[in-house]
Structure formats: C-alpha cells, structure tokens
Amino acid sequence: MATERASPIRRRHTDRIGRLASLRIVTDNELMGLALAEATAAIDHGDVPVGAVILLDGKVIASRHDERERLGDPTACAELLAIRDATAHVGSRRLDGATIAVTIEPSVMCAGAILDAGMARVVFGVPDLSGGAVGSLYQVGADPRLGREFVTTHNVRAPECADLLTTYLAARD
C-alpha cells in the first residue's frame, strides 16, 4: 500500500491554518478581512479571487481560495476546499455550528455542501446575480423542504469584495 504524502499546497494550507487557528475572530468584518486576504492568493495562479474562511467555536479552522483553473477541477471552489480542510481538522463530515465567510455569494453546489455539513451561518460579501444560491437566485439555506437551514448575512465588506472582483475581471479583458 502506497503511503500518502501531503502535497506542498496542502502543507502550506495546513501551516497557515495552524497560525490562523490561534486568532480569535469576533466580528463578521474581521472574518471577511481574512477571506479577502485569502482571495487575493487566487490571482497568482489565474483563478477568480474568491476566498472562504471557516470559523468554529471562535477559531478559524480553514481558509482557502478558488483553485478551479489551477487544478482543472470545477469543484475546487474556495468554499468546498475550505469545507474539506475543516472536516479533516475536526475529524468529522459535520461542521455543526460553524460559520463560513465567502467573498462572493455561494453557488448551488457550494450552498448544498454548506447545508450538508450542518453549518449554522453563511456570511458573504457580494451577491452573485448570475448564480447565487443563498439570496440572489435561490434560498438554499432557508428552504424548509431541505430538512435543515442556515442563517445568511450578506453585504459584509461588499465594496472591497466587489472591487477585488471587478479589478481582476478588468485586467483579464
């Protein structure tokens, strides 16, 4: 049986999580500041600058950015990568009571994963009018037919999140 080695990318994220985990985040603005910082890292490898940070029991347990282009994987969204890291950190597929902060409104795929993980809150910066699933087009976190729900807080540091996205998109054209 082959032994698994942590990739340099995974190791880097694990090291960063270790440093971030010691921070006590108390406000949505501070949490979004970490997501914004994470989002800027995506630009270095040609991905859309989207960042996600997961907070559990007052501590950051995961922080990731989009890597869809880098990895050639349509599921390598900031939210899903952060959820994977967070569940590995807690040793369970459940993230009951956790908050995820994302610079742009989560898609249907990401909102479904957030719901399935049992997170309590989603905090996002700017709405995604073309595919947002927690307020703009769909209400995944507030649909009682899905069996569970989460609270959504929107427009947290929205001007900064929007500026990051529009600057990136303008440079790409």
Longest dimension (CA), the chain: 50
End-to-end CA distance of the chain: 47
Residues with a catalytic annotation lie at 79
Per-residue three-class SS string for 38-95: HHHHHHCCCCCCCEEEEEECCEEEEEEECCHHHHCCCCCCHHHHHHHHHHHHHCCCCC
Residue 113 CA: distances (Å) to CA of 50, 87, 173: 17, 12, 32
- Let me know: does 104 contact 85? Beta carbons within 8 Å: no
Our CA dihedral for 112, 115, 117, 120, rounded to 10 degrees, sits at 150
Torsions phi, psi of 68, nearest 5? -65, -45
Rounded to an integer, what distance in angstroms lies between the CA atom of residue 89 and that of residue 21? 11
